Amino acid sequence: MNMQFDVAQNGALPLMTRPCAPQSCDQCGVRDRAICTDLSDPDRDALSRIGRRVTLHAGQTVMWEGDDSMVVANVIDGTLKLATSTGDGREQIVGVVYASDFIGRPFGARTPHSVTALTDARLCLFPRGSFDAFARDHGDLQHRLLQRTLDDLDRTRAWMLLLGRKTAREKVATFLLDMARRLQADQAGTIELPLSRQQIADILGTTIETVSRQMSELKRQGIIALVGRRGVRLVDGAALEALAEGV
């Protein structure tokens, strides 16, 4: 372990990391979608040399809300949650990130939310100071960071609409469509939801009973199929999209 990357805090286990292999970027499955996609091959290799590959197990936290902003990362695979604490100590999930997403707070002093793996995950992790210095010298990377920030702002505005105006059924339909777009389905077209129904309810601003009732109704109407504890298959995607839009 390189202790420069021993970023676990609050009593958590340290993260097991390893240096990026010389050809790791060439073999990366998200290189055409990640934050580094616009870099030239030499610049991408240079960025890779300051990074480490990190393997997380489900439930392991890589960043803690309010701590010093020590690292940033590309998500190579897996799903992670962004969460913050309410005044009474409850956790509020404020976002979910997937393969090719970027996490952390470049050019910032504090981490605004905790980042915890919902599934086993792999990250390309960078010390925040070294990443900031690299970004200052590479306009393409700064442009991509700005683009990601604006995309996140658009998603936040869309989520405010979902929470404030949509019905419970529209919320659940929108959530399932988002999961279907971002998660890899198996050969039967089934996606495995990384969130429990309670976590889905927390994200959507409703109750677990409401989420369960709406998903059961979507199943009864033949719009989705429920497979096992968390598996969902979209049977009628067009109908689900119509419901999400309130049609």
Q: Give residue for tokens 């050809």.
A: 23
Secondary structure, 3-state, 24-44: CCCCCCCCCCCCCCCCCHHHH
Mean predicted confidence (pLDDT) in 191-208: 90
Residue 12 has pLDDT above 60, yes or no: no
Is the per-residue pLDDT at 2 higher than 60?
Answer: no
Per-residue 3-state assignment (H helix, E strand, C coil) for the chain: CCHHHCCCCCCCCCCCEEECCCCCCCCCCCCCCCCCCCCCHHHHHHHHHCCEEEEECCCCEEECCCCECCEEEEEEECCEEEEEECCCCCEEEEEEECCCCEEECCCCCECCCEEEECCCEEEEEEEHHHHHHHHHCCHHHHHHHHHHHHHHHHHHHHHHHHHHHCCHHHHHHHHHHHHHHHCCCCCCCEEECCCCHHHHHHHHCCCHHHHHHHHHHHHHCCCEEEECCCEEEECCHHHHHHHHCCC
Asked if the model's pLDDT at residue 58 lies above 50, the reply is yes
Q: Is the pLDDT score of 110 beyond 50?
A: yes
Provide the pLDDT for residue 22. Answer: 53
State the pLDDT at residue 28. 80
Q: Is the pLDDT of residue 4 over 70?
A: no
pLDDT (tens digit per residue) in 121-136: 999 999 999 999 999 9
Least confident residue range of 2-11, 48-57, 65-74, 181-190? 2-11
Residue 177 has pLDDT above 60, yes or no: yes
Report the share of the chain in percent with pLDDT over 90. Answer: 40
Mean pLDDT of 163-191: 88
- Please compute the mean of the pLDDT values over residues 22-47 and round it to a whole number: 80
Q: Where are the domains of the chain?
A: 3-160, 166-244
Domains 3-160 and 166-244 in one fold: no
The top-scoring range by mean pLDDT among 16-30, 83-97, 132-146, 223-237 is: 223-237
Q: Are 70 and 128 in contact (CB under 8 A)?
A: yes
| Per-residue pLDDT at 21 | 58
CATH assignment of 3-160? 2.60.120.10
Q: Is 16 exposed, middle or buried (0-12, 13-18, 19+ CB in 10 A)?
A: middle
Alpha carbon distance 61, 177 (integer Å) = 27
pLDDT, mean of residues 18-43? 76
Question: What pLDDT, on the 0 to 100 scale, is given for residue 94?
Answer: 84
pTM greater than the 0.95 cutoff: no
Angle at 237 between CA 121 and CA 78, to 5 degrees: 0
Domain 166-244 has CATH 3.50.50.60: no
What pLDDT, on the 0 to 100 scale, is given for residue 114?
A: 93
Any residues with CB less than 8 A from the CB of 195 and at least 6 apart, and which?
81, 93, 96, 118, 203
